């Protein structure tokens, strides 16, 4: 499965990681490190370890050799060696091994994280920003003296962001769930909701009217809008993240010229692939999913590729905090693509040139086209 051959990822262009995050600038303590291997926001259950997850096994498989250790060495040995090398050297070693050429970094997460340029530089690539709408709104709200000022400032900020960022991201799935009224909210409703939110202190934004307002502000810019769907931290409710719940919004945005990219999608990735197959402006992303299912990445990627047209699936790592997650995400993606397309080529279901061509589309070309990365101008 690892031998090069027709249709294998040896032919892949530099990857475009169209959805990722910064990594820690400092060295994490062991508990913090392990916490990044899980989507849980609590300590592991007594008698269990976050290393005993597919993300943990994947990190232990792929990363130690780059730090001069044997694959699957004990976590403590790995963490000791990591401390020895320091965060900058660890980052450099891991990121340069990913094969990522372009990083589209969601800058909306808190913490002492590398920014897009810094992240990309460590990996020898180019970085762009993706603006998280809810974080932007929360920042603007913190500086606004009233709802009129907030709404004006927000509209301006979204339009300005569209000039430099390559896209936007909505985490409405976490804040309310995806069963949102698909219509743009009316001006009065938005004003009332903004007033109420500001009066309540403008902390974590969960108001559905404002979440919809953000989505429609972003749609109006024409930049691709990434939408979190499927699993994630436990502040979401899984059954409220099925991308099929977005059908109304998808229909409502069909003629806007703006593309929607459904992130992660698992365990509703077949639903996401269906949506990508019938709506021209909808795309699906392997995201968080491949990293967290480890050796099942080929099976899950194949499920995506049941209905998702070749031109509609995008690669990302959703790596966050640890450069290890970049390496594990890309290694799992490459081997999964190799395994899936290789098997289809071998059985005669696909031709080798088609497999090669589709591999390059998923790895980079679809993202380059959707985000306009090859266009002249501010890119």
Ranges within 236-255 binding a second copy (CB under 8 A): 237-239, 242, 244-245, 247, 251, 254
Contact 211, 180 (CB under 8 A): yes
Check residue 266 for interaction with a second copy (CB under 8 A).
yes
Q: How far is the CB of 282 from a second copy (least distance, A)?
A: 9
Task: Report the residue number, 39 or 256, with the smaller CB distance to a second copy.
Answer: 39
Helix axes 75-85, 54-62, angle to 10 degrees: 60
Residue position matching structure tokens 């597919």: 54
Q: How far is the CB of 270 from a second copy (least distance, A)?
A: 4
Check residue 231 for interaction with a second copy (CB under 8 A).
yes
Task: Report the residue number, 6 or 195, with the smaller CB distance to a second copy.
Answer: 6
Q: How far is the CB of 152 from a second copy (least distance, A)?
A: 34
Site string for a second copy, 69-108 (x = CB under 8 A): --xx------------------------------------
Q: Between the CA of residue 51 and those of 64, 220, 279, what are the distances in Å? A: 14, 43, 39
Of the candidate residues 10, 32, 40, 186, the single one contacting a second copy (CB under 8 A): 40
Check residue 39 for interaction with a second copy (CB under 8 A).
yes
Nearest to 282 by CA among 224, 331, 217: 224
Burial 16-42 (b: 16+ CB within 10 A, else e): bbbbbbbbbeeebeeeebbbbbbbeee
Of the candidate residues 4, 31, 48, 379, the single one contacting a second copy (CB under 8 A): 48
Residues 282-321 that bind a second copy (CB under 8 A): 292-296, 299-300, 302-303, 305-307, 309-312
| Cα(186)–Cα(153) distance, integer angstroms | 18
Kindly give, in sequence order, each residue whose CB lies less than 8 Å from that of residue 343, ignoring residues fewer than 6 positions away: none
């Amino acid at each position: 499965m690892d031998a090069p051959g027709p249709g294998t990822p040896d032919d892949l262009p530099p990857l475009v990681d169209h959805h990722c995050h910064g990594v820690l600038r400092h060295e994490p303590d062991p508990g913090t490190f392990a916490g990044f291997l899980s989507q849980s926001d609590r300590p592991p259950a007594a008698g269990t370890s976050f290393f005993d997850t597919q993300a943990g096994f994947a990190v232990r498989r792929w990363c130690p050799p780059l730090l001069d250790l044997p694959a699957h060495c004990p976590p403590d040995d790995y963490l000791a060696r990591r401390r020895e090398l320091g965060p900058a050297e660890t980052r450099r070693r891991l990121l340069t091994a990913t094969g990522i050429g372009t990083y589209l970094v969601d800058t909306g997460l808190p913490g002492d994280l590398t920014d897009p340029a810094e992240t990309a530089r460590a990996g020898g690539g180019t970085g762009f920003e993706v603006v998280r709408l809810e974080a932007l709104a929360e920042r603007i709200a913190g500086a606004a003296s009233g709802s009129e000022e907030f709404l004006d400032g927000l509209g301006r900020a979204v339009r300005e962001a569209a000039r430099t960022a390559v896209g936007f991201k909505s985490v409405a799935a976490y804040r309310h769930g995806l069963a949102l009224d698909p219509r743009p909210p009316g001006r009065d409703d938005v004003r009332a909701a903004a007033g109420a939110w500001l009066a309540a202190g403008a902390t974590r934004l969960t108001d559905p009217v404002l979440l919809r307002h953000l989505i429609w502000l972003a749609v109006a810019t024409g930049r691709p809008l990434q939408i979190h769907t499927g699993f994630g931290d436990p502040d979401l409710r899984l059954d409220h993240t099925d991308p099929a719940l977005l059908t109304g919004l998808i229909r409502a945005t069909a003629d806007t010229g703006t593309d929607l990219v459904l992130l992660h999608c698992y365990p509703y990735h077949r639903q996401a692939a269906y949506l990508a197959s019938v709506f021209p402006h909808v795309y699906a992303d392997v995201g968080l999913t491949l990293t967290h299912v480890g050796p099942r990445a080929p099976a899950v990627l194949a499920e995506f590729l049941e209905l998702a047209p070749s031109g509609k699936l995008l690669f990302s790592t959703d790596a966050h905090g640890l450069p290890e997650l970049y390496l594990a995400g890309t290694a799992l993606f490459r081997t999964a693509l190799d395994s899936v397309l290789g098997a289809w080529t071998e059985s005669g279901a696909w031709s080798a040139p088609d497999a090669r061509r589709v591999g390059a589309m998923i790895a980079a070309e679809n993202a380059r086209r959707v985000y306009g990365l090859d266009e002249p101008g501010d890119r």
